[in-house]
Amino acid sequence: MSIILEFDIDDFDSGDRLDKTLAQIQSDYSRSRIQALIESGAVTLNGQVFTKASWKLSEGDKLVLTVPDAVSAEPEPEDIALDIVYEDADLLVINKQAGLVVHPGAGNHSGTLVNALLHHCGDELSGIGGVMRPGIVHRLDKDTTGLMVVAKHDKAHKGLSAQLEDRSLSRVYKALLLGVPMPIKGHVDLPMGRDPRNRLKVAVNVRQAKTAKTYYMVEKDFGGYFSLVECKLESGRTHQIRVHMAAIKNPLVGDPMYGPQLTALKAAMKKHGMDDDAQEQVLSFGRQALHAGAISFIHPITEETMHFEQSLPDDYVNLLKLL
């Protein structure tokens, strides 16, 4: 059951921050845990849900903290529809839909690809990726669509992971960019690491950065204002294509984290001659225009060369039609 804790603010706590005060009163929880609970709506101030951790409290304020039940340490099977492109006794190739998180994490304890795989595969799913990432060899961002390979058992997982490590597991992406990269065929070789100003983001040329290389080729030029680009990873860092394309001033259309400024996007669409309705449709796309369209690897058991291609999803196709 949830734990409900009530506190009255006295003169000693008056003027202090909400998160600081709760962390001091309820020392069983870290300040970061308290902040997460506040942001999730688990705190009421004088009877109203309050989500501003920095709010300064006043004497007489009444706080109620509701701590939800602990979630299971292991993900549970869930009946979530999967678009399975290929399956045998050793592995699956999946066409991941937009909005599907790959594995459980902070704020995503259920509804993930792992939950779906546990339901589909049952006990045979490989555990070598860790309890929270069974079978997962590589990942796609939540809103990136396209092909992923998943191992069903440890031997397959080891074989595929080795190919990912030595870069013989090949992935090709389609990215819709603002502007046209120059030259139209080339590569971006910029090391990447955590952005010191925002731990949720990745940046180039930061301290403790890891090597990252992306090959690209312009597939279609939309009047010089947008371009459909094929990208191939030599390395496979978090957010790599999104960060590399932004670094060369050609960010992905729709990318909420690294994407183009709204003014720049609107200016490009206007110069491209798009009417107001088309512009609104582009602005409402709501995710980065990135699709994992092809994947190649050696089957870890049969040693057969495997290659799969997946066409763009409907919303992406419609986006290109608008241009």
Residues taking part in catalysis:
141
Tokens at 273, concatenated: 């001659």
CA distance 20 to 302: 58
Through-space distance between the first and last CA atoms of the chain, rounded to whole angstroms: 53
Report whether 292 contacts 90 (CB < 8 A).
no
- Consecutive H or E run containing 215: strand 213-222
What amino acid occupies position 30? S
Report whether 157 contacts 129 (CB < 8 A).
yes
Report whether 65 contacts 26 (CB < 8 A).
yes
Report whether 279 contacts 269 (CB < 8 A).
yes
CA distance 289 to 315: 9
CA distance 129 to 152: 11
Output Rg (C-alpha) for the chain, integer angstroms.
23
Tokens at 194, concatenated: 């955590």
Please say whether the dihedral angle defined by the alpha carbons of residues 295, 298, 300 and 301, taken in this order, is positive or negative.
positive
Tokens at 189, concatenated: 């070789």
Q: Give me the residue label for tokens 């294509």.
A: 241
Question: Residue 23 CB: number of other CB atoms within 10 A?
Answer: 19
Q: Which residues contact residue 280 at a Cβ distance below 8 angstroms, ignoring those fewer than 6 apart? A: none
| Bond into 183 cis (ω within 30) | yes
CA distance 311 to 147: 10
